[in-house]
Amino acid sequence: MAAGMGELDDTDQRLIAELRRDGRAAVTDLAERVGVARATVQARLDRLIRRGEIMGFTVQTRGDVTAMPVRGLMMIAIEGRGAERITARLGGMPEVQAVHSTNGRWDLIAEIGTRTLEELDAVLVRIRALEGVTVSETNLLLATKKAVRR
């Protein structure tokens, strides 16, 4: 039974979870892990891409990390309804690699990459100076480990 428009059924969710674990997995491997036929996986991938549920596949190379070796996550609290405006401003900063909306204490999380700690500090100062940013907390990423394949 296929999911309706805009809905992800259990098979879609398991397929997406497997792709998050290993975005380079072969369709046959995905089919085995999810427990469906290879043709089913291919059809669902095509549908998920066509509908925009899967927006693309990315790769992170050693060069990406070494070009911007100082990486951090900045959690940001915003007063009022400025999240959209601040997200747009953050998106225009070359050091900001991604911006995520979230729930809980923080409104946004920005992934930041720079060549040096001094550059990171300058970016943090610019972000904190944005109108509407009330509080922030930044954590440096010390190491990135890939999830273990099952």
- Indicate which CATH number applies to the domain containing 115: 3.30.70.920
What is the pLDDT at residue 54? 82
Q: Is the pLDDT of residue 2 over 50?
A: no
pLDDT band with cut points at 50, 70 and 90 for residue 52: confident
Task: Write down the mean pLDDT value for the chain.
Answer: 85
Highest average pLDDT, of 46-55, 92-101, 117-126, comes from 117-126
Mean pLDDT of 31-39: 93
DSSP 63-126: HHHHHS-EEEEEEEEESTT-HHHHHHHHHT-TTEEEEEE-STT-SEEEEEEESSHHHHHHHHHH
Model confidence pLDDT, tens digit, residues 107-146? 999 999 999 999 999 999 999 999 999 999 999 998 877 6
Same domain, 82 and 134: yes
Q: How many domains does the chain have?
A: 2
What is the pLDDT at residue 4? 47
- Cα–Cα distance for residue pair 26/19, rounded to 1 Å: 10
CA distances from 35 to 27, 32, 93 (A): 12, 5, 43
Q: Would 146 be classed as within a structural domain?
A: no
Q: Is the pLDDT of residue 60 over 70?
A: no
Q: Would 134 be classed as within a structural domain?
A: yes
Is the overall model pTM greater than 0.85, yes or no?
Answer: no
Contact 113, 95 (CB under 8 A): yes
What is the pLDDT at residue 58? 67
Same domain, 70 and 115: yes
Question: Which residue segment(s) compose the domain that 85 sits in?
Answer: 62-140
What is the pLDDT at residue 3? 46
What is the pLDDT at residue 148? 53
